[in-house]
A = this chain, B = another copy of it.
Amino acid sequence: MAFLKVIPLEKALEVVDSLPLEPEMERISLEEALGRVLAEDTVSPIDVPPFNRATVDGYALRSEDTFMASESEPIRLKVVGEINAGDTPEIELNPGEAVYVSTGAPLPKNADAVVQFEDVDRKGNEVLIYKPAYPGLGVMKAGTDIPRGKGILKRGTRLTFKETALLSAVGLSRVKVFRKPRVAVISTGNELVLPGEELKPGRIYDINGRAITDAVRELGGEAVFLGIARDDRESLRTLVEKGIECCDIVILSGGASGGIRDLTSSIIEELGEVKVHGIAIQPGKPTIIGLIDGKPVFGLPGYPTSCLTNFTLLVAPLLRRLIGRESEVRKVKKRLAHKVFSVKGRRQFLPVRIEGDKAVPILKGSGAVTSFVDADGFIEVPENVEILEAGEEVEVTLFG
């Protein structure tokens, strides 16, 4: 299933789908779980609360003892002890007895209600109850918040502070999450230098290395930027091999020159197999997908907007699959803010900015850095369409 000529996007997506990578899981401490994605359905191993718990400060008692109580004829109960939050409840109530409890304390055996201390009178060893207490008054019963065995979080849930707190509430100190895929990022091109380095004549600062590295991190992957490969076989091959060694996936972004594309595909061919060599979309013609030692290698176009568009179309879905975030919706419907023209016979992806319910096309050309900084995503203009009118409904795919 290798395509050595330009193929439709759908075929390329099939190739990505069939790449031999499966989501992996790891068990980590709850302390490090924030932002990770749960890899299993989680069930509460305990009742929350784990015991019948006083919700007020007052007197725990047997409600049946109070059924005859009234303002004029209060019931007198003997106070046989005190239980505070955190105490182990060893007291057992006999008829006619009560125990002072603080909020959060476990109820003594046989008690089924807590009467607030504001509603009673304490007389030495005794407490006077002026009205009947019903079973359950002032009590949160064991398991009423979360019963033991109840499913609390689904596989695929991204853990925010609310979910980590919930996991803490049920006592789980370790959780099974999707392992972060490791992605090696390589920029290619003789003209590139890294920020902080001197900008000699004819050189430009690298953009795609930073963009792809940080886009992978935002998606929840681990990214390693390996630096810039020059337009020579040795330099490129060394970095590709390094990427295959350290990571699960390698992403190269092309320099401006067409020569690098041939070099990249020839090196992949040497070390593994080229699966896709060009996709029939604009931008995307120079995109390469290969496989070395069972690890995918993506060669993306050099222009930042083109690079990011192809990353979003091809690499991001794979990363989401590996991280367990497949079901995430990354498309929104908007209305086109103004007319755009396309070239008939070309399936084109145009960067747009979202403003309220509008999609504003950004027409600076893919060479401009600012076009991808200003854009939130892109829309597709099908092959047979030359004009999209203002106000037309379009589907915006968000970058990343």
Contact residues of A with B, CB < 8 Å? 30-31, 34, 46, 48-51, 53, 55, 57, 83-89, 102-106, 140, 144-146, 160-174, 189-197, 199-211, 213-215, 217-218, 225, 231, 255-259, 302, 304, 364-365, 367-370, 372-373, 399-400
Indicate the member of A83, A89, A106 with the most B CB atoms within 10 Å.
A106
Chain B residues contacting A364 (CB-CB under 8 Å) are 145
A60 CB to nearest chain B CB (Å): 13
Q: Are B171 and A195 in contact (CB under 8 A)?
A: yes
Q: Are B255 and A104 in contact (CB under 8 A)?
A: yes
Q: Are B103 and A202 in contact (CB under 8 A)?
A: no
Q: Are B189 and A256 in contact (CB under 8 A)?
A: no
CB-defined A-B contacts under 8 Å, sample of 25 = A30-B195, A48-B369, A51-B202, A57-B258, A84-B257, A85-B190, A86-B203, A88-B201, A104-B189, A104-B256, A145-B367, A145-B369, A161-B400, A162-B372, A164-B210, A165-B210, A165-B214, A167-B195, A167-B210, A168-B206, A169-B207, A169-B304, A171-B193, A171-B205, A173-B196
Other-chain residue from B102, B167, B259 in contact with A257 (beta carbon distance below 8 A)? B102
Contacts A51-B201, A225-B31 given; indicate if A207 touches B368 (C-beta within 8 A). no
Q: Are B104 and A257 in contact (CB under 8 A)?
A: yes
Q: 6 closest A-B pairs (Cβ-Cβ)?
A: A104-B256, A86-B190, A173-B196, A161-B214, A86-B191, A165-B211
Other-chain residue from B102, B140, B207 in contact with A367 (beta carbon distance below 8 A)? B140
Contacts A161-B211, A217-B161 given; indicate if A85 touches B168 (C-beta within 8 A). no
Q: Are A49 and B88 in contact (CB under 8 A)?
A: no
The residue on B at minimum CB distance from A104 is: B256
Q: Are A34 and B218 in contact (CB under 8 A)?
A: yes
Q: Are B102 and A168 in contact (CB under 8 A)?
A: no
A23 CB to nearest chain B CB (Å): 23
Determine how many copies of this chain the complex contains: 2
Is chain A's interface secondary structure helix, strand, loop, or mixed overall?
loop
Other-chain residue from B86, B160, B203, B302 in contact with A192 (beta carbon distance below 8 A)? B86
Task: Provide the bound-state CA to CA distance between A365 and B103, in Å.
Answer: 14
Q: Are A207 and B172 in contact (CB under 8 A)?
A: no
Task: Provide the bound-state CA to CA distance between A225 and B104, in Å.
Answer: 23
Contacts A86-B203, A160-B218 given; indicate if A30 touches B255 (C-beta within 8 A). no
Task: Provide the bound-state CA to CA distance between A196 and B173, in Å.
Answer: 5
Contacts A34-B217, A86-B202 given; indicate if A172 touches B195 (C-beta within 8 A). yes
Task: Provide the bound-state CA to CA distance between A365 and B399, in Å.
Answer: 41
Q: Are B207 and A165 in contact (CB under 8 A)?
A: yes
Chain B residues contacting A367 (CB-CB under 8 Å) are 55, 140, 145
A145 CB to nearest chain B CB (Å): 5
Q: Are B171 and A199 in contact (CB under 8 A)?
A: yes
Task: Provide the bound-state CA to CA distance between A190 and B196, in Å.
Answer: 54
Chain B residues contacting A53 (CB-CB under 8 Å) are 204
Chain B residues contacting A46 (CB-CB under 8 Å) are 199, 205
The residue on B at minimum CB distance from A194 is: B173
A191 CB to nearest chain B CB (Å): 4
Contacts A30-B195, A85-B257, A369-B169 given; indicate if A50 touches B203 (C-beta within 8 A). yes
Other-chain residue from B103, B203, B256, B304 in contact with A103 (beta carbon distance below 8 A)? B256
The residue on B at minimum CB distance from A153 is: B373
The residue on B at minimum CB distance from A208 is: B165
Q: Are B168 and A103 in contact (CB under 8 A)?
A: no
Indicate the member of A49, A146, A193, A208 with the most B CB atoms within 10 Å.
A49
Task: Provide the bound-state CA to CA distance between A168 and B197, in Å.
Answer: 11
Task: Provide the bound-state CA to CA distance between A88 and B190, in Å.
Answer: 11
